[in-house]
Amino acid sequence: KTILASKLLGITFVLIGLVVYIVFAFIVVRQVKLMTEVVNGILTNFLRLISWIFFLFSIAVFVLALLFL
């Protein structure tokens, strides 16, 4: 019984951590958007693309964790 409870507690903390990671990735997307509105440069579109890839990757990690935990 205690092993099951500790496993559920661990899974819960992992999922909470991944949600925090998704929020962080979303904040990165917003910051890059605000930065590219102020500063124009050669890499503007590339930085936006990388920030969106980072955000989508964090969502994919969360979904995979839900499936395999």
pLDDT reported for residue 2? 82
Q: Rounded to whole angstroms, what are the CA distances from 65 to 17, 18, 61? A: 11, 9, 6
Strands (E), 1-69: none
pLDDT reported for residue 5? 83
pLDDT in tens, the chain (69 residues): 688 888 899 999 999 999 999 999 999 999 999 999 898 888 899 999 999 999 999 999 999 999 988
pLDDT reported for residue 3? 80
